[in-house]
Chains A and B, each alone.
Chain A
Amino acid sequence: MSGPSDPVRWLARELPELVARGVLDAATAERLRDHYALAAERRRGIRSLALAALGALLVGGGIILLVAHNWSELGRPARTVIALAPLLVAQALAVWVVLRRGGSAAWQEGSAIAVVAGVGTAIALVAQTYQIPGDLHGFLGTWLVLTLPLVYLLRSTAVAVFALATSVYWAATMEDGVPAAWLLFLAALLPVIAPALRHGWRSDRERLLGWSFALSVVAATPLLVVDLTKAAWLPALGIVLAALALEGWQHPGDDPRWRARPLTLVGTLGGASLAWYLGFEGAWRWGWPGRGDDWQDGAQSWAVVAVLALLLLRVVHLGIRAARQRAWPEATLAALAPAAVLAWALRLATASEISLLFAVAWNAYLFALALIFLASGLRDERPGRVNGGLALVALVILTRFFDSDLPLLARGAAFVAVGLGFLLANRVLERRLTARTGGAMP
């Protein structure tokens, strides 16, 4: 049976009858009207915000592409006007918005994106006109520094997302050395990220920021350490992914939906993916121990190491807390960080002949993580965890079986066993939930 096409309108029509029949009292009906009116208003707000941001983004992107064409027919004075005019217009608009439309998120986001595009256009066109040397890294860094304050002055989530993405791009375009200044870009954004980090990612804008934050931290981590020392990506990713998962667990917020848990999801899926990769023997054999360079001394290297060390301490602290609260999936995820550091140090100190031992240990870790998630999901009646645990079990078995020389019969039996496990676990969970809700499935 399909529901009404517009449930809110349907409810508005039904309410008088429900009150008349005594199903609801008038006050409750009024509260429901208010609640859904607000929800509709919020949806309109989000639509308007998205359209304003998209419009400004398309106009800005179009201007940059037009500029990139390089209008060599125009003289330097004309190009100077073209370079600065969009920026001046956008800046004037932004000041007007603050003074006259300070309460409108759509106006603030739209004008902030216009200023970002205006700054990018101005510095690109001037560089082009005067043949100014300098690579993309320098261009992106200048653009970021000049636009980052808009996050606060125009309360712009779109600029915060732009800054997170562009800072990763900036780190990726650094030719050599440790791009530790990325940590400063991140620190400059922490005042907008930290509140949501503590109370959970409640609004759509906060959720967008949360996902951008989690993904950019993961993307930037290998870039930060690629020139630090040999294979530094391994301990760094282990620490960062565990930290994301544990911070997400520590501050879950009150919205249980997956899209409101960016840190938990990115940390958990990323951590499982890292463990899965390390379960291949080749990950420990090829290129070790010569992968990467020797320790690159300098203040930037030490800054990155200090941040990673602090994060490791935080992960260990939260891991101990999780174990005390018998939150075993989180405690196991916390173990990823010290395990990655230990494995990295041991592998650097040993020969490639024992690569298999490392691979076996990581398979055991991933298998344990899968079973703990499965058991926790069954105990707490959380279908997402049950299926996640089973998916991990399946991943370990499928990939390891394709990776080895086991006979087809053994592989077939294992696949059937995993499949039956899926069916059985979901059946058990369904029966429990049915019993708990008195027959009405949630």
Chain B
Amino acid sequence: MKPRPRAALLVALAVAQLAVPAWAILSNERILRHGETFRFRAVPVDPYDPFRGRYVALRLAPNTAAAEEEEGAAISWGDTAYAPLGRDAEGFATLGPLRREPPPTGAFLTVEVTDRTEEGWTVELPFDRYYLRDDLAPDVERAFFALAADDDAAPSWLEVRVLAGRGVGARLYVGGRPVG
């Protein structure tokens, strides 16, 4: 292939290479700027990704929800469903009954249904990690375990912004204090 067509194809590839991170930046910025804030109770552990660095893997609560009665039979394992969001008395997020269609009003999350338990449907929330500076992550993990052993300690949570069914983790709080 001659240099000019090859360079043109390379430019097209470069646009595609830039489009992926650029799209991620734009869509997440929109959620962070205009999304509604919710707090999910968090249980952090500390793994490592060789490319993206150290992060706190999060097990968030609540991650179970009932299904709307008339639609309950239609929801099954592996489905994508919509969970309306609310807040409990302490200000933490609650998941409403799962729906097959997005609710017409109010904040909601798009989730994947992963299991069925006595408590209802288990869902996979669209946040599972919080990246931290690599020297900070072990301290966060230690602080978390110390706090977990203390029943009177303040809770840990992930603050997320939610917009149009999508959520972005905004800040992690361990023992009531922000980290990172």
B115 within 8 A of A: no
What is the bound-complex CA distance between A71 and B50, given in angstroms? 16
A84-108 to B contact mask, C-beta < 8 Å, 1/0: 1001100100110011001000000
Whether A83 is near chain B, meaning CB under 8 Å from some CB there, is yes
Q: Can you list, as one digit per residue, whether each of A242-269 has a CB less than 8 Å from chain B (1) or not (0)?
A: 0000000000000000000000000000
By a CB distance below 8 angstroms, the chain A residues around B25 are 80, 83, 126, 129-130
User: Is B37 in the interface zone, CB < 8 Å from A?
Assistant: no
A133 contacts the other chain (Cβ, under 8 Å)?
yes
Question: Is B7 touching A136 in the complex (CB atoms < 8 A)?
Answer: no
- 0/1 interface trace, chain A 121-158, chain B, CB 8 Å (1 if under): 01111111111110010010010001101100110000
Given contacts A95-B7, A119-B17, A123-B20, contact A128 B52 (CB under 8 A): yes
The answer to whether the Cβ of B24 comes within 8 Å of any Cβ in the partner chain is yes
Chain B interface extent, by class: 35 or more
B128 within 8 A of A: yes
Known contacts A71-B133, A95-B10, A130-B168; is A124 also within 8 Å of B4 by CB? no
Selected from A64, A95, A123, A133, the residue in CB contact (under 8 A) with B126 is A133
Q: Does any Cβ of B come within 8 Å of A38's Cβ?
A: no
Q: Are B14 and A124 in contact, with the CB atoms below 8 A? A: no
Knowing A95-B14, A102-B3, say if A127 contacts B52 (CB, 8 Å). yes
Tell me whether A98 and B51 are in contact in the complex, defined as CB-CB below 8 angstroms, given that A70-B132, A119-B17, A123-B21 are known contacts. Answer: no
Kindly state the separation between the CA atoms of A128 and B130 in the bound complex, as whole angstroms: 8
User: A68 touching B53 by the CB < 8 A rule?
Assistant: yes
Report the separation of the CA atoms of residues A423 and B134 in the bound assembly, to the nearest whole angstrom.
59
B10 to chain A minimum Cβ distance, whole angstroms, is 5
Interface assignment of B39: CB less than 8 Å from any CB of chain A? no
Chain A residues with Cβ below 8 Å from B24 are: 123, 126-127, 130, 132
Q: Are A133's CB and B129's CB within 8 A?
A: yes
By a CB distance below 8 angstroms, the chain B residues around A238 are none
Residues of A within 8 A of B32 (CB): 76, 130
Contact B133 A72 (CB under 8 A): yes
Residues of A within 8 A of B128 (CB): 133
Chain A interface residues (CB < 8 Å from chain B): 64, 67-72, 76, 80, 83-84, 87-88, 91, 94-95, 98-99, 102, 115, 118-120, 122-133, 136, 139, 142, 146-147, 149-150, 153-154
B residues whose Cβ falls under 8 Å from a Cβ of A: 3-4, 6-7, 9-11, 13-14, 16-18, 20-22, 24-25, 28-29, 32, 49-55, 126-134, 136, 168-170, 180
